[in-house]
Every structure is written in structure tokens, then in C-alpha cells.
Amino acid sequence: MKGLLTRRMGVRPQPVSLPPTMDPKSKSQTDILPGGAPPPPRRARLRFVLSVVALTALLRFFFVLAPIVCHWHTNSVPHHNSAAGVCPQESPLVPSKNGALWDELTASHATTAFRDRAVAQLSAAVQIPTETYDEMGPVGEDERWLSRGPFLEHLASAFPLVSANLPLQRVNTYGLMYTWQGSDASLKPILLMGHYDVVPVAPLSADQWTFPAYSGHFDGENVWGRGSSDDKSGVIGILTTIEVLLEKGFKPTRTVVLSFGFDEEAGGYHGAGHLGPALLKRFGPDSFALIVDEGSGLTDTYGATFASPGVAEKGSVNVNIEIKTPGGHSSVPPAHTSIGMLAALIVHLEAHAPVPTLDIDTPAFGIAACLAAHAPAIPRKLRRAVLRAPKSERARKQAEKLLLEDTMFRALVGTTQAVDMVSGGVKSNALPEQALAVVNHRIATQSSVNATTARDAQLVRDLAARFNLSVTAYGEQLTSAADAAAAYGTLELSAPRTLEPAPVTPSSGSAYALLAGTIRATFRAARSGKSKGVEEEKEEIYVAPGVMTANTDTRFTWELSKHIFRYGHGSEGLGNIHTVDEHIKADAFVEMITFFTTLILNADEATAL
């Protein structure tokens, strides 16, 4: 016992020398008592033994059980210290060499005059419709591309210093590549991206807008209109930033390249699909220090504000399911028409939707870890489960169960499926000879296109036999020739366009540190209250690596950099993008300009990129 206690106390036990009178081999009780005194009475001996037992128990509690109890008590109360080392935060990063310029510009951004200037630029851009439709023909053949012309003319006149100082390369007519040449060619440039096309305004909902969809109306707080949030705010925010820097005489050391697509809302194949290869041809593989495109912004979650730059992007695939059966008059119908068969297949797919799992080595778990580490109002049970998950399978399953109850997080973690389009039949009294469904999948970062399409094929194959349908999946005949010849009809799966999940950007290292530090500095500068002459307590923001569930034009830039981020600073929520009453707060738009200003100046003097 003594050795155990001393080891727990950090004291090394020393050898004990027994005097001759205490020789343990002595057979006489009187020999081991001082002065040869007679042994104590039985009651005294009993009290002595009980005292020793009590003392031993007390010491054992103090050195053995007390630390366990204290540890349990600490972890039973939400406290940041219990998450030490989880989701570490970069210090706010402000320019040093260009510190005076940054101070001047951020002070200017806080003024009403600058806000009104920025809002006017965005409003004018929103007033020019640049709608993108699915399946548009090639540029030069489809007249709907002509709507881009007026927008490009507007940019040339609205940003005269950008037009005069940044050489512009037009790619596939309407793709824009600006180059702001730096003085040090040995430094990798940064690439800032955006798109200026918008989704169409549905005619049936045009009268539901608070202000006309292309009015660019400013009500003193918000800018309203299609594209105000997605993504003309990004394009105009970048150009306004550079225009102002040029006005101040700033000359970059590190080259800044801008790439603006014009059909991101239809996949970007005509715009960024040409810009990406042009950039690769000009600059080469892994030529950019970092890339920043549109993405998620700021959210308030469990009592804390988080910024979630996308370090990953889910893949996507549209699986077309087509059934063909014999036609005929509807007065003599079969047991199941092609439409009925398709309906059964859809029900079967939805009844066996992909089941998401929370894997530790994924960006989605990184988000959960940041919430557990920094969100003060996160439920205690969830916090403990997430923090213990890396070392406990039981805790991981508990965290998974709790987190997947949230619909948004569930979509973030796993592969999703949504039956978005159906068609079939041509007349009420004619049996439908064809029925088609389109199933959209957003593929989890830890999965693949092949795993997703193969799963669909297996599911429909199991049910196709019930209707005596032959099955062809992605060009491969899955039914034997004999069975196909005897089949009542055919079921075919196809996936014309696929996109694998994007490579995951490291959420550590110099590029991520620069971005995270820039985000935190921007947030503090925009909300410090200094412009009002009042030193207010600075709000806090935490940066958590995020996952884009939608796809951006960065799909065409994977070879250009290992550090690709999808982030839209200032935006809070989706701002009604793609629907009625799209808008952005004016203050949020100005904060976006502060972000791009800080990013350019920080990157310009960074030595580790």
C-alpha cells in the first residue's frame, strides 16, 4: 500500500532499515515492543487497527477516487477546457506591412457614404438580367447567351481602374479572367472566383416579390433582387475591393487572378468549364497558393457564431430511370402500366434511401467537433458524445444518432437522393409506352460516383424481375439474353454527367491559417464599434471547416491548387436564393468587401503560402 500511494503522490519509496528489536523473524512479542512492555489490551489493539483501516481508506479516496470524481464533475458541466486541443482557432490576422492602409479602408467601410457606394454598384448589377437555363446551346448559337453582353459593358464602365489596370482575357466570349500582376513572380498567385449568371425568375411567381425581381431595390437595410445574394454580390464585392485598392495606389507583391463564370447555375460547363482549362494552360498545375469561390457564410449555432469555409464539396450524379413497355388502348390495360411500374420503383428507392454514417475522418465530423468545443449552448449529452467519439465506438454511435436527427446535418454527412423529375404518357386513352424519372444524388465526401450508381442499379434490378423487365445499367446489360428476349419491357439506367466528391482541402497549414485568421479579423473589424467612437466588446467568431452540399465552379479548378475554399463572408443563411425575394443585407455586403480587402492584403505579405 505504501509503495502504491507514494507512486501516486509522485514520491519514490525509500528502503527501510529495521533495528534489531524490530526483527520480523523474532518469535517473542515482547521483543518487538519498546522497552519490552507487555502487549496492549485487545480493545486498544482493535481501536488501533480500526484507525489504520480508516486512515488507509481516506488516503485511498484522496489519491485514487477523488481524481475520478473531479474528472466526472468537470465533464458533466459544459466548459471549453474539457475540449482543449479540439478545433483550435487561429488568431485574428491583420496586415502588418499594409497595416495603415487596412486601418484606413476598414474605417472607410464603416461609413454610410461607402455603404451607399457599394450598394449602388450591386443594385446596378442586379438590374441586368443574366438568366441561365438548363441545356442551353453553344455560345454563338443560343441567343439566350446575349444577355451577358450588357453586363460586361456595365462592368467596364462601373470599374474604370480595374478595366485600365487589370488585363482582361475573355474565354468562350463571356468568361472573364482578370490578372492583377504582382511585383514578385516567385510567389504563387491567389485566385478569386465567382459567377454573374442567375437562375430564372418563374413567371408564375413574378408578382409575389416584395420588390420587382430585377429592381435592385435598396430599402435602407437590404438589396433586393435576383442575384443580389447568389452570386453578383461576390463578383461586385471583389471588383469593388480592387477598384478601391487601386484608388489608394496599392500595388500588389503577389499576383491576384480573378475568374468569373457565366453559367454556374447550369453546371458551369460553358463558363468555368472553359476558364479552368485556360488557367491550367497559362499557369500550370498546383500554381495557385489558394482559391476562394462562393460558399457558405456565417451561422449562429448553439449560442455561438461560426464561419464554415467549405474545405470539401460533395459529388453529384443524376440517374435517369426509364421504363419502356408495349402501348395500346387504355380500355384494355395490363396489370401495371409503365407509369405504375415507375411509381413502384420510386417508392422502393425512397424506402431504401442511403443511410448516412458519422465517420471520424471526415470534414462533417470536424464540424461537429468544433461545435462541441466552442458552442456554449450545445446539449451536454451531445458535447460529451462528440468529444469522446474519436476514442470510443459507443460514443461515436451516440453522437451519430443525436446529430443525424438534424435534417441539415444529415444531408451534410451522407449521400442523399431526391426524385426531382418524372414524365410519361402522351394521352389519356393511350397506354404509356415510356416513363422516366430523374434521381438526383449528392455524394458524400467519403463515397464515390460508382458506389452510388451501383447501389441504384442493384435496387431497381431486384424489383424489375417482378414486372418482367430486362435491365440495362449504364450501358451494361444485366439481364441474360434469354430473359431479355422474353421480357415484357425494358428498364434502363443512365448517368450522362457525373462528378466525384472534391479533394479535401487540408484544414491546417499556412493557407487555412491565413483564411481563418482573415475571417476572424474581418468579423472583429466590422463589429468593433470603433467607427461610432465607442469601444464595444468585440464579438467572437469560430472558424469550422465546412462541406458544400451543392456544387460550385471550383469543380474545374482541382488541378490548380490543393487549397480550395468555398466561402461567402457576410452572408447569413441563404437569403432566399433561387426563390422569391432573394436579398442581401447591405451591412453584410460591405463586410464581404472588408473580407476580400483583408484577404488580398494578408496574402500579399504572407511568406509561407
Catalytic residue among 243, 263, 264, 492: 264
For the chain, give the number of residues. Answer: 609
62: DSSP letter:
I
Check: CB of residue 434 under 8 Å from CB of residue 424: yes
* Cα–Cα distance measured from residue 230 to residue 582, given in angstroms and rounded to the nearest whole number: 8
Other beta carbons within 10 angstroms of residue 117's beta carbon come to 15
Is 441 labelled as part of a ligand binding site? no
Is 265 labelled as part of a ligand binding site? yes
Is 293 labelled as part of a ligand binding site? yes
Among 113, 313, 290, smallest CA distance to 189 is for: 290
Is 578 labelled as part of a ligand binding site? yes
* Residue in this structure with the C-alpha cell 516567385, named with its chain if needed: 186
> Which contacts (CB < 8 Å, 24+ apart) does range 95-100 have?
95/598, 95/601, 95/602, 95/604, 95/605, 96/605, 97/604, 97/605, 98/250, 98/601, 98/604, 98/605
Q: Is 116 a catalytic residue?
A: no
**CA of 567: how far to CAs of 90, 165, 293, 571, in Å?**
17, 27, 6, 9
Interior/surface letters 143-178, b for 16+ CB within 10 angstroms, e for the rest: eebebbeebbeebeebbeebbeebeeeebbbbbbbb
Q: Is 141 a catalytic residue?
A: no
Among 272, 276, 277, smallest CA distance to 261 is for: 272
Helix extents (H) in 191-308: 232-247, 272-283
DSSP string, 476-519: EE-S-HHHHHH-SEEEEEE-S-EEPPPPPPPSSSHHHHHHHHHH
Check: CB of residue 323 under 8 Å from CB of residue 341: yes
Contacts of 257 (CB under 8 A, 6+ apart): 177, 178, 179, 180, 189, 190, 191, 192, 279, 283, 288
Radius of gyration of the chain (CA): 33
Catalytic residue among 197, 231, 400, 456: 197
Is 359 labelled as part of a ligand binding site? no
* Residue in this structure with the C-alpha cell 441561365, named with its chain if needed: 132
Provide the annotated binding site for Zn(2+). Answer: 195, 230, 265, 293, 578
Give the active site residues: 197, 264
Provide the annotated binding site. Answer: 195, 230, 265, 293, 578
